[in-house]
Structure 1
Amino acid sequence: MEATFIQRISYAAIAVSLWLFVVLLFPAGRALAEVRHTTIPDSTVVSASGSYKPYFPDIVKAGNGDLVVVYYWSESHAGGNGKIMMKRSTDDGVSWSAAQTVTDTTYDDRDPSIAALSDGTLLVSWFTYSGGVIDVRVIRSTDNGATWGSTVTVGTNMAWAATSSKIIELSSGDLLIPLYGPAPGQGYQQTTVVRSTDQGATWPSTTETVMGYIQGIHMVEQAIAELEDGHIRGLIRVSSADNLGYEANSYDYGATWGTPVKLDKKIHAPELFRIPGTDRIFQAWSEFQYPGGGRPVVVKIGDLSDPWNGSASRLLYSNRLTSDMGYSSTVLLDDGRLFTVYYDAHKQILGGTYSKLGNWEGDFGTKMNLAGMYQSSAITVTADMQYSDPNNSATGPKGALDGSIAYGSAAFKNATATPTSPATFMIDLQGNHTIGTIGILLKLGYAETADVQISTDGINWDNVQMYTNASMNEVDYKYFDCGKTIRFVKVTVTASFGWAGLNEIQLFELAP
């Protein structure tokens, strides 16, 4: 049982100005940076301390403008001794306060989520565990999380219930909390919602409605959002033969639900919300059994009329060395940026990544066949990374272009790079191309410092990426909002642990 969450914006609260609409669609200024890295967080929210590590974050913007993150603080993924902690940021995620305990009962307190109501009240929900699930609880703050009141228990008709996604406030004024647990008299888990009509003071079991149940599979850890008045959509994680997720819809404020429909992605920990002032639906999840390894955070933008079949999904954060990661939660900042938090058990952190709508709904580009272009002399490479291994034909300049991330399939300089004696690798595309994405993998598994630059003339260079003492295990991508016109791309390694190396460079070209 893990934590999931979603950043939901109640449709009733969507009273946005034309200014916000313009900011979202046409952001300007360097503060609204493109996604800089898909393997390196922009912000470290929480790091491990002693034997304790952070898991399963959820984020919300409080009424005073602070960002508030809650998370499970435990010795392991399901440690048996966890508690719910909180941090806040007053500068949109750049820096974070000291940790504060939200709740620490005699049980294992798991999978927290946090919601902000229209009156400024914060509600944290979680479930307790002690050899089995005990109950789902909710605690309230009326002062932006400075203090927390007494807890209330959520009613259910199931033998037990857990939760891993935040409460949502409906346009009708009611609240819904998503639960999952065993269907009565059945061996499989189902998803339900329980309603509060008094702003979360009580959650009667008599209000519980089944959201999704299919015999033969477990339906768990759903996320819900009100997309229009009365229309609630949910994304559901399942455990089945193919592990493909489901969606479910209600058009009467959650009183009844349609038959769940299977999707084409293995979604864990989904989140979704409607971008204010638009008909665009932000959807993210941690993708189970991802072909590249790990359980990366993936984003997909859909349209209100057809939320799932919108743009292609795209990586937000990845670490192929672990599947104990992800469980993203996203908040919309006042300047139009999105800030997404997630956990990475291998790095033992909660991290955060900035993005904006254009990063997810534009043309991402088609991967250029640099290896083929190099072999046919359609491009040229100028580099001092010319080491040739007689026992490995993949070593050499072509190794950085071949699509392989194997250690030996790379370009090396048989000398340690230093600021005064760097190693360089430059590609001349023999003409201008418009690039939507650039991917870089420095020397696999070893720390290097490097700059990535682009140019149209080989004289004037723009810095587009920097790495500082980065130990990389997969290709790291940077997304450009509107594309970059380039002819030359250059990687300069200025510090390396051992010989300087470049494992992979990838370019994705936008259609003319």
Structure 2
Amino acid sequence: MGVRTSLAVMSRVVIARTIAGQLPYFPSAVRLGDGRVFVVWREGLGHVRSNGRIVAAESSDEGRNWSEPRVVVDTIQDDRDPMVVQLANGDLLLSWFQIDWSVRPYVCPGVQVARSTDGGASWDSPVAVGSGMVDHETAEVWHSFRAGHVVAHGQILELPDGDLLAPVYGVFPGDHRHSAAVVRSTDGGLTWPAENEIVLGRQPDREYTEPVLTLLPDGQVVALLRTDQEADLVRSDDNGVTWSEPEPSGLYASSSDTLTLSDGAVLLAFGDVSRRFNPGRPTVATVIREPRGRWDKDPQHLVIDAGQDTMDQANPAVVELPGDELLVISYDIFTREIVGEILPRTALG
């Protein structure tokens, strides 16, 4: 396993601070084709059981300074876990899921995807991601957070052939554990048919949640799956049509984000739940130099820690900047800030 270290070469930036009474959560970021870094996150009264909205900001100077935050999604539901990606044609896709906490059992209306054709200035009406995890015939019975729902964590992935994969997870009707899957869109994200869903991990005695997709330079697609133990990896060599059986990654990773760097390595940041750094869930990052192998061989570094050993942090986002710099973003509920650390690529090995 890679050596675990803390870094002293980082430069912290504050991306945004919420208003009093609101807390920041779950950032996602992408460096756009025009050079801007675009970030979205959720603001709400609490991590769960409170309504939230999705907010965005951007930087035109490689993450040093940021625009004033603006609200991009705010419905009567709890809008949460936003993820943003830019497609090859320049469009942005924003995905998120919703929870209605006003009823018992609480309802998950599903995963939504909205499109922007103007660089994030405006967004079209969202479309739903289909999934067999939702039993529409018995929705009143199965629409709870333990069965019959589908949610998401992880960016949509564009494949070399133009198809898109949306990573999702939830509980199939009749199951008692979460499963992870991908749903394919063959029309650029206009539709996400449930019949295009492919399961990545489903077992009666193991939780599979928060699938995060990575496209390697040789075309292999890797999915990192959070479990109730160490995270698992599954792989596809045919554009996500078939997948390997889950294999251990060696990482006790939650709420991860990945990015294939320009040199072919994979930047991975995650909430570390191993308690190796502290009793909480700090943001840890590593550069995986050989991503076709195990993912725990390279040094792991403590990057962002809100202190007080809280479990309510991490959910990081990662961006590659010019000049061999990396940007890792997370949140701090104590200062009510979305924060980032800019560090040299060499600092992570």
Q: TM-score range by the shorter chain?
A: 0.7 to 0.9
- Partner SS for 1:206: helix
Identical counterparts, % of pairs: 31
Shift of 1:134: 1.4
Indicate yes or no: 2:33 matched with 1:63. yes
In the other structure, the counterpart of 2:160 is 171
In the other structure, the counterpart of 1:245 is 231
8 Å contact from structure 2 (residues 12, 339) kept in 1: yes
8 Å contact from structure 1 (residues 227, 273) kept in 2: no
User: Partners in 2 of 1:300 and 1:251 — Cα distance?
Assistant: 24
Quickly say closer, same or farther: Cα 1:307–1:227, change in 2 above 3 A. farther
In the other structure, the counterpart of 1:51 is 21
Shift of 1:137: 0.2
In the other structure, the counterpart of 1:472 is none
Which of 1 and 2 has higher RCO (CA within 8 Å, sep 6+)?
2
8 Å contact from structure 1 (residues 235, 271) kept in 2: no
User: Partners in 2 of 1:224 and 1:244 — Cα distance?
Assistant: 17
User: Partners in 2 of 1:334 and 1:300 — Cα distance?
Assistant: 19
8 Å contact from structure 2 (residues 251, 295) kept in 1: no
Task: Report Cα offsets for 1:259-280 as digits up to 9, x if no partner.
Answer: 111232221111222211x232
In the other structure, the counterpart of 1:422 is none
From 295, 301, 306, the equivalent of 1:308 is 295
Task: Report Cα offsets for 1:386-428 as digits up to 9, x if no partner.
Answer: xxxxxxxxxxxxxxxxxxxxxxxxxxxxxxxxxxxxxxxxxxx
In the other structure, the counterpart of 1:192 is 181
- Partner SS for 1:57: strand
User: Partners in 2 of 1:260 and 1:316 — Cα distance?
Assistant: 28
The one-letter amino acid paired with 1:246 is D
8 Å contact from structure 1 (residues 176, 194) kept in 2: yes
Shift of 1:229: 4.8
- Partner SS for 2:54: strand
Structure 1: unaligned runs, 5 residues or longer: 1-33, 362-512
8 Å contact from structure 2 (residues 16, 68) kept in 1: no
- Partner SS for 1:335: coil
- Partner SS for 1:218: coil
Larger radius of gyration: 1
> Alpha carbon RMSD of aligned pairs, Å?
1.8
- Partner SS for 1:96: coil
User: Partners in 2 of 1:269 and 1:97 — Cα distance?
Assistant: 26
8 Å contact from structure 1 (residues 230, 254) kept in 2: no
8 Å contact from structure 2 (residues 259, 268) kept in 1: yes
- Partner SS for 1:326: coil
In the other structure, the counterpart of 1:317 is 304
Shift of 1:133: 1.5
From 263, 267, 272, the equivalent of 1:282 is 267
In the other structure, the counterpart of 1:225 is 214
Indicate yes or no: 2:138 matched with 1:153. no
From 177, 192, 211, the equivalent of 1:203 is 192
From 311, 333, 336, the equivalent of 1:345 is 333
From 243, 254, 257, the equivalent of 1:271 is 257
Task: Report Cα offsets for 1:473-511 as digits up to 9, x if no partner.
Answer: xxxxxxxxxxxxxxxxxxxxxxxxxxxxxxxxxxxxxxx
In the other structure, the counterpart of 1:104 is 74
In the other structure, the counterpart of 2:146 is none
Structure 2: unaligned runs, 5 residues or longer: 1-5, 101-105, 135-148
Shift of 1:315: 1.1
Shift of 1:63: 2.7
User: Partners in 2 of 1:56 and 1:295 — Cα distance?
Assistant: 14
The one-letter amino acid paired with 1:280 is A
- Partner SS for 1:129: strand
How many residue pairs match? The answer is 322
In the other structure, the counterpart of 1:117 is 87
User: Partners in 1 of 2:160 and 2:40 — Cα distance?
Assistant: 25
User: Partners in 2 of 1:216 and 1:320 — Cα distance?
Assistant: 33
Shift of 1:95: 1.2
In the other structure, the counterpart of 1:137 is 112
TM-score (norm 2): 0.88
User: Partners in 2 of 1:72 and 1:298 — Cα distance?
Assistant: 21
Quickly say closer, same or farther: Cα 1:305–1:221, change in 2 above 3 A. closer
